[in-house]
Structure 1
């Protein structure tokens, strides 16, 4: 009987492990940023230096520049699907060793407690945010919780259905020195 039980458990474990898929990576592709109708915003996202092995997601107006800074990848698995499209990680490949090698950095939304804004940052080993691209190739973040439904004194309960969020804003600034 012990042999049969252990064989059953090993079989179940093997089926669970085999059911998990490795993420599928697509790319490279570019992130085209267009404003609402009538807006002059029309450019591309590029990875820009923000610290030691940390890059921001920066806006570059005009035509698509060339180079690794404007090439992204999407790692998706079949685990999470929102509105019939897969959710996953946005990846930028940080070059090192003179550009001969790269290391994957995933996008994370970095929140500040005194603001309702999050900065999009790439880093190594940092928390990453799940995102997706809808059927029209529009970029979204998602969540199971809708904080507009929270009630004071009650713990929030996830809906079980992911909701896509498209509230993106471009903030551009330039520091000019001598």
Structure 2
């Protein structure tokens, strides 16, 4: 991978993330991706280059990563213990961006966030080196399936009727789609803000936590 950020800047970002990181972490684990309708989709997620110190969440059909590719497909779940959904902890997903050999620190924790486009209802999950210890709020239910945590559903809004206090809800709008990351074009995990997704290549999937 090629990075435009200097090792010193990445080290500074790593120190800030570690200083602010939630007190609890599980992992490493794999993300098993299976099709809801298309049963030929059966593979794993992995961090793929999408820019300088920026990774998308790509999809590879086939077995779990092994050997030198384990870090590519290994993720962590960070949480404070102060927020949950039906007894499932809510936090954020992270991936360790490895730096050049001999660097101190050896890696930068990168939180997953969503990147939105004003012309699409499909958002791209991206992992970036940042001093922001938080990321997109997600969790894993009792079956190990990853969900997005949300409070408010504006599809129920009415004119001049203030919404009632919302109850937290788990959403599972995960898809695998062909997506463009500037100069890259990959089959990768996507999040549909509304259904159905606008991108015609999208296929609905479940994403399940599998401990390494």
Using the size of structure 2 for normalisation, the TM-score is 0.66
Gaps in structure 1 of 5+ consecutive residues = 1-20
1:14 is aligned to none
Larger Rg belongs to? 1
Partner of 1:62 in structure 2?
A: 62
Aligned-residue RMSD, C-alpha: 2.4
Superposed counterparts of 1:14-163, under 5 Å? 22-36=22-36, 39-66=39-66, 67=69, 68-98=71-101, 101-125=106-130, 128-152=135-159, 158-159=165-166, 161-163=167-169
Write 1 or 2 for the structure with the bigger share of strand.
Answer: 2
Maintained 8 Å contact 1:88/1:131 = yes
Higher relative contact order (CA 8 A, sep 6+): 2
Q: Which runs of 5+ in 2 are unaligned?
A: 1-20, 187-212
> Is residue 29–residue 76 contact of structure 2 (8 Å, CA) maintained in 1?
yes
- Equivalenced residue count is 155
Whole-Å Cα distance in 2 between the matches of residues 96 and 156 of structure 1?
47
